[in-house]
A = this chain, B = another copy of it.
Amino acid sequence: MPGGPDARRTQILDGLIRLAGRQGLHTASMRTVAAEAGVSLRLVQYYFETKEKLLVAGLEHLATLMTGRLTARLASADDREDPRTVIEAVLTEALPTDYESRVFHLVYTAYAVLAATDPVLAAQPFLRAPDEMERFLTGLLQTARSAGRLPASLDPAAEAALLLAVSAGLGTSVLLGQRASEEAMRLLHYHLDKLFSG
């Protein structure tokens, strides 16, 4: 069978993400997800049993997709040894620049809102990725500071947290149509220039 044993799961989860990105996560029912994925309702039940499990699996799938994109972007970075290059790649990836990443951000935010009041979703490792990212950025900034590329007066951990906050905040403003993604990128580079120029 093509695609491995869980190609069907992937097919359904792709449908869920696609539908949630186009019409909103709240329109995702067992039936609409099945229709979007081109399968029957029973099949969705067969693979995920309950809607709650479907939603949880959808969140995991989303995390997998985003990790894949980030990994690909890092792999294609110009200079993987230069901290600033890597930081720029990570933060740029975090902005909803194209349709796919816009979908990621929108659906992820929808999940986050649900998790704020749903204990089952809240129990998911919702913050593992951001936490890892923050540690990762902190390490990069420490490296840059040790190499004299960053002013010694800066606090790498605090700057890492602020960078992610800036990226998330700008991403949201792009999502809501307050700003074009190019403008968000410009602001991000402005902020990075300030950091690295001292």
Contacts and interface: CB of A to CB of B under 8 A. Distances in A.
| Chain A: interface size category | 35 or more
A177 B191 CA distance: 26
A55 B110 CA distance: 17
A110 B112 CA distance: 9
A169 B165 contact: yes
Tell me the number of copies of this protein. Answer: 2
Contact of A162 (B109, B168, B191): B191
A155 interface: yes
Q: Is the interface of A mostly helix, strand, loop or mixed?
A: helix
Contacts of A164: 169, 173
Nearest to A168: B169
Contacts of A90: none
Most buried by B among A114, A126, A162: A162
Interface stretch (A32-40, A41-49, A72-80, A115-123): A115-123
Interface string A124-143: 00110011000000000000
Chain A to chain B: the 8 pairs with minimum beta-carbon distance, closest first: A165-B169, A24-B117, A169-B169, A168-B169, A127-B178, A165-B170, A110-B113, A165-B166
Interface of A: 22-27, 106, 109-110, 112-118, 122, 126-127, 130-131, 154-155, 158, 161-162, 164-170, 172-173, 175-179, 187, 190-191, 194
